[in-house]
Amino acid sequence: MTGRTTSKFSPEVRARAVRMVLDHEKDHPSRWAAVVSITAKIGCAGQTLHEWEEKAEVDSGTRAGLPNGSVTHIQRPPANPARFKPSRKAGPPRSASHSSRCTG
């Protein structure tokens, strides 16, 4: 999913649209057909209403998942600052005379 933006639909409109899908599902050949029918009336994308519907099912317990509000914040563990510091255990720097002896 992409970043969240402010929705132009209130929570009440979302809840009503989800109820309408469930109420009119029997009038259509599939749930998706009901979703498309409702989205034409309220002016949102079919996928958006489908996501609202899935969230409502999770919140009501009819679909597996974490309901809204049950997870307040998932925090990433802090980075270990010690692993970014240069090691001071490397020993003394090599002299120029040593490197000339090693090249042969």
Q: What is the pLDDT of residue 62?
A: 72
8 Å CB contact between 39 and 9:
no
**Which amino acid appears at position 1 of this protein?**
M
Q: What is the pLDDT of residue 51?
A: 87
Mean pLDDT to the nearest integer, 33-62: 85
pLDDT band at 22 (very low <50, low <70, confident <90, very high): confident
The verdict on pTM exceeding 0.75 is no
Comparison of pLDDT for 24 and 75, the residue scoring more: 24
Residue 71's Cβ-side half-sphere holds a number of Cα atoms within 13 Å equal to: 7
Tokens for 32, please give them. 């998706």
**Ramachandran class of 25: left when φ > 0, alpha when ψ lies in -120 to 50, beta otherwise:** alpha
Please provide the DSSP assignment of 29-69 as one string.
SSHHHHHHHHHHHHT--HHHHHHHHHHHHHHHTSSSSPPTT
8 Å CB contact between 46 and 32:
yes
Percent of the chain with pLDDT over 70: 51
Residues in the chain: 104
Q: What is the pLDDT of residue 53?
A: 85
Domains of the chain are 11-60 (1.10.10.10)
